[in-house]
C-alpha cells in the first residue's frame, strides 16, 4: 500500500465538515425517520378491514395463538433503539433528548441497509432497574431491542438481564456489533499476513464495552485468552491490580479478564503491551498520540493496527505505517479499512428477524463476522482492503443468511428457512427499503438537502 502522507489541516477540516452541515440538514427534515404505510389502500372501505370492525378478528386469533402476532403485525420487523443517553458517541452523558438524533440515525441505517423498521426510544432515567423494566414493558410491540450508548459497566448488566428475561433478541451494538466487525477485520488481516488467529498475540487497548465484548467474542471463536492483553487507563489488566480487585463487584468483567488473559502477566501500559504482539485492537482515547510510533516499532513483523477511536484514531495511519505496521484500520471512512459496526447490525438483525429468533448469541455474531470476512475475501484481500465498505451491498445479504442459519442451528429460531429462502427474504426487504427512498426522492416527497 503506497499511502501518501495527507495534509493534517486538510484532514481535520474534512472531518469537521459533517458537523458543519448536520444542524441545517436535521432542521430541514425535522429528523431522519418516520412511520410509513405498508398495506394497500384501494378505497375507504378498506379501513373497515385494517381497523374496526375487521381488525378484531386478527386480535382474537393472536389472543388464542400468541405466535400469530409475527404473522399479522409488523412486530417481526420492528426494533426499538433504546438509550438513556449516558454515553453517546464521544459526547458522554448528554441525556435522552440530545441522544435522539443518534437513535434516529441508527434507525436510518437499520432501514436503508437492512430493511429493518427501527424506532428510537430514549428513556428519562439512568437507573438500570428502571431501564430494564421500561424495556420489558414495551417489548410486546417489538421483534428486537437494540441497546445503544449506555455507560459502562451498567450496559453489561442491562444486556445480561434483558437477554435472560425476554423472549426476543436484545442486543447492545457497542458490544456484539463492534465485536463482529472487529473480528472480521482481524481474521482477514491475519490472512493477508499469513498468521494463524489462534496463535497470534493481541494487545487490546481500551477496556470499555466495545473491547470487553470483542475479547468475549474472540474467546468464543477460539482465540486463547492467554494470547490477549487488555489495557485500560491505568495499565495492563492483571491479577496484581488491586484497583480491579476492589472494583470487582461493580465491574466484574474487567476483573474476570484480568485473571484469564495475559498469560505472561505483563505489567505496565500501552507501550509494554505492544512489545512483540501481532495485533493491536484499540478502542480508547481519541488521538493522535494515544499510541506512539515508537511503540508500534516494537510490535512483531507484519503488525496489524486497528486504531478505532473517533473522530481521530489513536495513531494516524501514516505514522503507524512508517513505524512498521503492515495493515492499518480505523473507524473513519476517509482511510482504508474502516472498522465500522454499520456493516454489521442492520444485517445481523435482518437475519435474526427473518427466523423470528429469540436471542442473538455470540455464535451468531461470529457467523456475521465470518460472512463479512468472506465477502471481502471473495473480492480480493490486500493490505488496504480487509473488510467490505457500506457500498459493498452484497455483504448485508450474506450476513443475514449466515446469522439466520446459525440461529436455526442453535435452536433459537421460531421458524426454519433454507439458505435460499433467507437470501430471497433479505434481498427483498433490503431492495424494497432502498427503492422506497429512491421513489420518494424522485417524486419530490423527500426533497434534496439544503446547500450549506
Give the DSSP letter string of 9-25: HHHHHHHHHHHHHHHHH
Helix, strand, coil percent content, the chain, rounded in steps of 5? 50, 10, 40
In this structure, the strands spanning 202-205 and 228-232 are parallel
Q: Which of 75, 106, 154, 195 is catalytic?
A: 106
**Can you point out the beta strands (E) in 247-387?**
279-282, 304-307, 327-330
- Grid coordinates of 114: 437492512
The SS3 of residue 88 is strand
- Whether 72 is catalytic: no
Q: Which three-class secondary structure state does DSSP give residue 124?
A: coil
Strands 78-83 and 144-147: parallel
Q: Out of 5, 16, 38, 51, which one is annotated catalytic? A: 51
Q: Are 365 and 373 in contact (CB under 8 A)?
A: no
Classify residue 247 as exposed, middle or buried by CB count within 10 Å of its CB (0-12, 13-18, 19+): middle
Give the H or E element holding residue 101: helix 95-114
Contact (CB, 8 A) for 373 and 188: yes
Half-sphere exposure at residue 204, Cβ-oriented, CA atoms within 13 angstroms: 29
Beta strands in 180-314 (DSSP E): 202-205, 228-232, 235-236, 279-282, 304-307
Strands 170-172 and 117-122: unpaired
198 is catalytic: no
Active site residues: 51, 106
Amino acid at each position: 500500500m503506497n499511502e501518501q502522507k495527507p495534509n493534517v489541516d486538510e484532514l481535520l477540516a474534512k472531518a469537521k465538515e459533517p458537523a458543519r452541515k448536520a444542524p441545517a440538514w436535521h432542521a430541514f427534515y425535522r429528523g431522519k425517520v418516520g412511520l410509513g404505510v405498508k398495506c394497500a389502500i384501494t378505497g375507504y372501505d378498506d379501513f373497515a378491514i385494517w381497523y374496526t370492525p375487521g381488525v378484531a378478528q386478527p386480535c382474537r386469533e393472536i389472543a388464542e395463538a400468541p405466535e400469530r402476532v409475527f404473522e399479522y403485525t409488523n412486530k417481526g420487523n420492528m426494533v426499538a433503539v433504546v438509550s438513556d443517553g449516558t454515553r453517546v458517541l464521544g459526547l458522554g452523558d448528554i441525556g435522552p433528548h440530545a441522544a435522539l438524533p443518534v437513535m434516529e440515525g441508527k434507525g436510518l441505517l437499520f432501514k436503508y441497509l437492512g430493511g429493518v423498521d427501527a424506532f428510537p426510544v430514549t428513556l428519562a432515567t439512568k437507573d438500570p432497574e428502571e431501564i430494564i423494566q421500561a424495556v420489558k414493558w414495551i417489548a410486546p410491540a417489538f421483534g428486537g431491542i437494540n441497546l445503544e450508548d449506555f455507560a459502562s459497566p451498567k450496559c453489561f448488566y442491562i444486556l445480561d438481564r434483558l437477554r435472560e428475561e425476554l423472549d426476543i433478541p436484545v442486543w447492545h451494538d457497542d458490544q456484539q456489533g463492534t465485536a463482529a466487525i472487529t473480528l472480521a477485520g482481524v481474521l482477514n488481516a491475519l490472512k493477508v499476513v499469513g498468521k494463524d488467529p489462534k496463535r497470534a498475540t493481541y494487545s487490546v487497548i481500551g477496556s470499555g464495552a466495545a473491547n470487553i465484548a470483542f475479547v468475549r467474542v474472540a474467546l468464543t471463536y477460539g482465540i486463547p485468552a492467554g494470547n490477549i492483553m487488555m489495557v485500560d487507563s491505568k495499565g495492563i489488566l492483571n491479577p496484581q491490580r488491586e484497583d480491579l480487585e476492589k472494583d470487582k463487584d461493580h465491574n466484574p468483567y474487567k476483573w474476570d479478564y484480568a485473571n484469564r488473559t495475559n498469560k505472561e502477566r505483563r505489567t505496565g501500559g500501552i507501550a509494554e503491551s505492544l512489545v512483540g504482539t501481532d495485533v493491536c485492537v484499540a478502542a480508547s482515547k481519541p488521538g493522535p498520540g494515544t499510541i506512539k510510533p515508537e511503540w508500534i516499532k516494537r510490535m512483531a513483523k507484519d503488525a496489524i493496527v486497528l486504531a478505532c477511536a473517533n473522530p481521530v484514531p489513536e495513531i494516524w495511519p501514516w505514522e503507524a505505517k512508517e513505524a512498521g505496521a503492515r495493515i492499518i484500520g480505523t473507524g473513519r471512512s476517509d482511510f482504508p479499512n474502516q472498522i465500522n459496526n454499520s456493516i454489521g447490525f442492520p444485517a445481523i438483525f435482518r437475519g435474526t428477524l427473518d427466523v423470528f429468533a429469540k436471542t442473538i448469541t455470540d455464535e451468531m455474531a461470529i457467523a456475521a463476522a465470518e460472512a463479512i470476512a468472506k465477502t471481502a475475501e471473495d473480492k480480493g484481500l490486500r493490505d488496504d482492503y480487509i473488510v467490505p465498505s457500506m457500498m459493498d451491498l452484497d455483504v448485508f445479504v450474506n450476513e443475514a443468511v449466515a446469522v439466520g442459519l446459525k440461529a436455526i442451528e442453535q435452536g433459537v429460531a421460531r421458524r426454519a428457512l433454507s439458505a435460499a429462502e433467507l437470501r430471497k427474504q433479505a434481498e427483498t426487504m433490503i431492495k424494497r427499503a432502498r427503492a422506497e427512498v429512491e421513489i420518494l426522492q424522485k417524486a419530490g416527497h423527500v426533497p434534496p438537502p439544503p446547500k450549506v
